[in-house]
Chain A
Amino acid sequence: MSRLGLVLKAEMIFGLLVVVRHRAVRLAGLLALAILALGVADRAEGGGFATAQALIMAGGIVTAVAASRPLAPGATVWAARRVAAGWWLVPAGRLAGVLALVLPILAVSTPALGLHAPAGPPVALAAAVFAAALGALVLALSPVVGASAAATLGFLAAFLGGVPPSTVADMLAPWSVFQKAAVVLWNVLPLPWRVTRWLGGSPGHGVVLLAWIVLGGGAAALALARTHRLDAVPPVEGR
């Protein structure tokens, strides 16, 4: 195995271990399981609850809580600094660790729920891209705002983000100041409504989600670098 492979594997395993051994992630997993069970029951009874949305919401919730752990302030961020790896290696490896937990859940659930998109990409693929985008965003937020706050924001995004921007605009019509800000946020963030549109046949939404993976990973690397930035250090002379 090459040195790069060794490092990436180490980061991925590190990410996976700190995720699966945290009780918040196990609780989120239970909640996701309940949502999936509701989706299955609703489908069996021929109800109107969209099963694909249930899968996306469940995957998003687990991802949001899990992604808040690998760069939680404290020992995990300290570890990233001590190993002095290349700037992209830590975020990429640890996000892969989070996805190593989430992707098998999505891969197993999709056929079990009998999901298939009529026009867009495979449901499991779209859900995986969404999970990666949301995970990257939460990963970038956690060293800055703390693990609990980042997990909460990600959780809310996964839970409430299925509502399309037009509905948000209607709901907040009486409060025009909040309405504008909320609609802008809804149109920018990687939210579940975008996956639904993508599954409906609008590939642009998939591109936005892919862009968020890169953006979130880059922001996480920047957040790690900022914690040990060197200010006011004069250059070394005579070397």
Chain B
Amino acid sequence: MSVVVCDGVTKVYRRARRAALVQCSFAAEPGEILGLVGPNGAGKSTLLGLLAGELAVSAGTAVVDGHRAGTREARRAAGYAADPPLAPPELTGMEWLTYLASHRARSPRERLALVREAVELGELEDFASRRTGAYSRGMMQRLALGAARVTAGTVLLLDEVLNGIDPLVQRRVRGRVAALARGGRLIILASHDLGTVERLATRVLVLCRGRVAADVSTADLVSARVVEIAVTGSGVGAVRRLLDRFPSATRTETGVAVPLERALTVEHVLAACGELRIAVGASRVRYRALEDILVAADGDR
């Protein structure tokens, strides 16, 4: 059973007179790690804000754990790490987590256990006793992750929460987030760091200009391959000819990337280069990356 369901969700910011989300529909199951990617202003943070109950839906329906998003029950189901992360600067990290845990726990013992889990998830031991007003960006991100864990029922909404964390800690934190998903929680992670999303997510929604432009599973992503052609000499005209020949191809820094879809092979692509009299400097085959999907979805060829 889906734990988050969006059906035709639209969000219009009245003051800006701008639709941040348009007819956005998807469903997500417990155990999934759903990545949200897209350019700035694509609607990723707006979508998370709507699911967290921070924003009101303008049209359509968003349901979290069986309750309409924004209701008290839905807010209790979702742990939310906002971007930028928020915590009262007067409190220490430990006091902040204890406060949040007091609202979810049924006993002091359970509260303590929740706080311990949050400290472990964000690796907060070294600075949890310091006031949050003195935290660096990375420390705040880690605290926000812990706070989202403490307040989460079945869903964790993480907005750019792994950015700014050093690579070694990030690697361990990714493992713990994945373990949370394996434990039956739904994780929705919005990020510009496509590498992190590729490593962590089981499924990715690509948002462009407020619409769901692509919905792919990470397994499908890595099973598909792409041939990259580096063009020498003839430059822009050659790239243009290749893009016209292969409609699903996208531009790269040195040439084009052509997805090897259906019966298309590397030999076919190289033969086409010969037919078009394009000088190929180098070619390589790699797995398809999230960036290929994002660029294709955005129409930025």
A binding-site residues for B, Cβ under 8 Å: 1, 3, 6-7, 9-10, 13-14, 17-18, 21-22, 69, 74-76, 78-79, 81-85, 228-237, 239
Contacts and interface: CB of A to CB of B under 8 A. Distances in A.
Contacts of B91: 14, 17-18, 21
Interface residues of B, number: 39
Contacts of A83: 99-100, 103, 151
Interface of B: 53-54, 56-61, 63, 66-68, 70-72, 75-76, 80, 82, 86-91, 95, 98-100, 102-103, 105-108, 111, 131, 147, 151
Contacts of B59: 232, 234
A230 B103 contact: no
Contacts of A74: 86, 88
Given A18-B88, A75-B86, A81-B75, A10 B56 contact: no
Given A6-B105, A230-B56, A78 B86 contact: yes
A232 B56 contact: yes
Which 3 pairs of residues, A with B, have the shortest CB-CB distance? Answer: A10-B102, A83-B103, A21-B90
Contacts, number: 96
Nearest to B5: A236
A150 B53 CA distance: 27
Nearest to A76: B88
B70 A228 contact: yes
A127 to B, nearest CB: 26
Nearest to A21: B90
A231 B57 CA distance: 8
Nearest to B60: A234
A233 B56 contact: yes
Given A14-B99, A83-B100, A85-B103, A233 B68 contact: yes
Nearest to A3: B106
A204 B105 CA distance: 43
A154 to B, nearest CB: 19
Contacts of B99: 10, 13-14, 79, 83
Contacts of B147: 82
Nearest to A89: B103
B66 A239 contact: yes
Given A10-B99, A239-B66, A84 B76 contact: yes
Given A78-B86, A236-B61, 14 more contacts: A6-B106, A79-B88, A81-B53, A82-B75, A82-B80, A82-B147, A83-B99, A83-B103, A84-B103, A230-B70, A230-B71, A232-B57, A232-B58, A236-B68
Contacts of A233: 56-57, 61, 68, 70
A83 B53 CA distance: 12
B91 to A, nearest CB: 6
18 contacts: A3-B106, A6-B106, A10-B102, A13-B95, A13-B99, A14-B99, A18-B90, A22-B90, A81-B75, A82-B75, A83-B151, A84-B103, A230-B68, A232-B56, A232-B58, A233-B70, A234-B60, A234-B61
